[in-house]
């Protein structure tokens, strides 16, 4: 139950509004300014029409459009005027919102980014898309990890973007860092409708968390986005569906308190706990080793598929966008050598264990942990530098 799409809100409920907004058409800096004002107007319109909505979620490409332009004048920065307009709208409307934007990157191609803005107009979360939709997207891969912040009524929230959701590791990382709600914003067309629903449900069930996902939608043209907003309960059962209607608002109530209860009390299918407590009936406390070769190899800089050399598409770009050079500052993995282990921000204990697990080819050094986003007090972090490795 979700109170008829949140029309009847319970005391512990958080009302999420997913807006299937059509993508902006942005080709000039004036277009970008008008687009920001358009999103601000929607913030006020939604809050007037549904005063109990706690958080409004806008789809990918809703601010900068989907031109994939690399022009600096069509990108945004956290302290720029466009983001300022959106923050002001949330403050005046007294509502949280999730926004997509293309972020200026002085060191390389733009980042495909998202922010969560609080009802006080503060940026509570800043995320950069980890997995650009290659070979079509030219965006630099994200370098901030997956931050989690505390949102309305204490709900712990992570945000991912489009193709990120096709990697189960992304959802697991979000939940591992405490997320009770995973927001996914996208620009997919109907070619991936089935996979969109499938991953929304699997990410929820496998991690005991809600997922709330929305694509942009357009009434004209075959590639305007499919809409198809979906909210899934922590048991993997969909709560609310959207259609392909342009600018449709899909609302649902979620209950973060029930996520906390399930994670604490479930025995059967408490999978995120059981991952590191295998067979705890037979073995006291369960086995907590890392038996997954791909995890060990990825952390150790040795990830290679059995068919790696046969993969045909290993680069590419849209017809009007030249392939970018790899920017060493945008890469998460740095200096993979026989002596040094590549470092990333926010190592989890499981990753550190995998990293230090002995392998037949060579021993691996232990990785130091970086301060997490939450431990930093929820303040907006700067672009992280890789922590030092010790052997």
- Among 47, 68, 129, 177, which one carries the catalytic annotation? 129
pLDDT at res. 252: 97
Residues 299 and 264 in one domain: no
Q: What proportion of the chain, given as a percentage, has pLDDT over 90? A: 74
Q: What are phi and psi of 254, to 5 degrees?
A: -115, 160
pLDDT tens, position by position, 251-308: 999 999 999 999 999 999 999 999 999 999 999 999 999 999 999 999 999 999 999 9
Do the Cβ atoms of 96 and 118 come closer than 8 Å? yes
Enclosing domain of residue 129:
3-272
Q: What are phi and psi of 273, to 5 degrees?
A: -75, -45
290 among known catalytic residues:
no
Alpha carbons 233 and 251: distance in angstroms, whole number:
13
Residue 59 lies in a domain: yes
Number of domains in the chain: 2
- Among 162, 290, 343, 354, which one carries the catalytic annotation? 162
Alpha carbons 65 and 25: distance in angstroms, whole number:
5
Alpha carbons 181 and 11: distance in angstroms, whole number:
18
Residues 228 and 120 in one domain: yes
CATH classification at residue 14: 3.60.110.10
What is the sign of the dihedral through the CA atoms of 297, 298, 300 and 302? positive
Cα–Cα distances (Å) from 374 to 21, 148, 204, 377, 382, in that order, read 31, 7, 22, 5, 14
What is the sign of the dihedral through the CA atoms of 83, 89, 95 and 99? negative
pLDDT tens, position by position, 192-231: 999 999 999 999 999 999 999 999 997 666 666 899 999 9
| Confidence check: pLDDT of 19 > 80 | yes
Residue 282 lies in a domain: no
162 among known catalytic residues:
yes
When the pLDDT of each residue in the chain is averaged and rounded to a whole number, the result is 84
60 among known catalytic residues:
yes
Residues 6+ apart with CB under 8 A from 230: 196, 197, 200, 211, 212, 213, 214, 238, 240, 241, 242, 250
Three-state secondary-structure class, residue 149:
strand
Residues 252 and 308 in one domain: no
- Among 60, 103, 137, 253, which one carries the catalytic annotation? 60
pLDDT tens, position by position, 5-15: 889 999 999 99
pLDDT at res. 219: 62
Residue 203 lies in a domain: yes
Residue 283 lies in a domain: no
Residue 244 lies in a domain: yes
Cβ-based neighbour number of residue 99 at 10 Å: 28
Give the pLDDT band of residue 317 (cuts 50, 70, 90): low
Residue 234 lies in a domain: yes
């Amino acid at each position: 139950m979700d109170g008829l799409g949140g029309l009847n809100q319970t005391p512990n409920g958080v009302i999420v509004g997913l807006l299937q907004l059509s993508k902006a058409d942005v080709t000039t800096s004036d277009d970008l300014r008008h687009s920001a004002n358009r999103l601000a107007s929607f913030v006020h319109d939604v809050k007037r029409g549904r005063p109990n909505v706690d958080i409004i979620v806008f789809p990918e490409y809703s601010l900068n459009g989907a031109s994939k332009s690399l022009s600096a004048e069509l990108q945004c920065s956290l302290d720029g005027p466009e983001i300022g307009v959106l923050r002001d709208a949330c403050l005046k409307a007294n509502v949280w919102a999730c926004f997509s934007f293309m972020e200026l990157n002085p060191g390389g191609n733009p980042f495909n980014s998202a922010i969560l803005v609080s009802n006080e107009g503060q940026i509570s979360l800043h995320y950069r898309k980890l997995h650009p939709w290659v070979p079509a997207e030219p965006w630099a891969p994200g370098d901030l990890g997956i931050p989690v912040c505390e949102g309305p009524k204490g709900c712990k929230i992570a945000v991912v973007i489009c193709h990120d959701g096709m990697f189960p590791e992304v959802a697991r990382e979000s939940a591992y860092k405490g997320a009770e709600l995973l927001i996914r914003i996208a620009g997919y067309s109907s070619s991936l409708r089935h996979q969109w629903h499938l991953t929304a449900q699997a990410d929820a069930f496998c991690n005991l968390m809600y997922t709330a996902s929305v694509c942009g939608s357009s009434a004209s043209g075959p590639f305007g986005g499919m809409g198809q907003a979906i909210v899934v309960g922590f048991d993997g059962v969909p709560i609310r569906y959207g259609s392909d209607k342009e600018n449709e608002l899909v609302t649902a109530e979620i209950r973060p308190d029930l996520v906390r209860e399930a994670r604490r009390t479930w025995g059967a299918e408490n999978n995120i706990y059981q991952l590191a407590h295998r067979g705890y009936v037979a073995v006291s406390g369960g086995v907590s080793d890392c038996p997954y070769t791909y995890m060990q190899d990825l952390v150790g800089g040795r990830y290679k598929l059995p068919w790696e050399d046969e993969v045909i598409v290993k680069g590419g770009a849209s017809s009007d966008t030249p392939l970018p050079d790899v920017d060493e500052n945008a890469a998460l993995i740095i200096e993979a050598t026989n002596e040094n282990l590549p470092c990333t921000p926010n190592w989890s204990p499981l990753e550190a264990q995998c990293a230090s697990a002995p392998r037949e080819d060579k021993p691996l050094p232990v990785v130091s942990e970086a301060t997490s986003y939450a431990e930093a007090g929820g303040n907006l972090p700067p672009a992280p530098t890789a922590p030092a490795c010790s052997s």
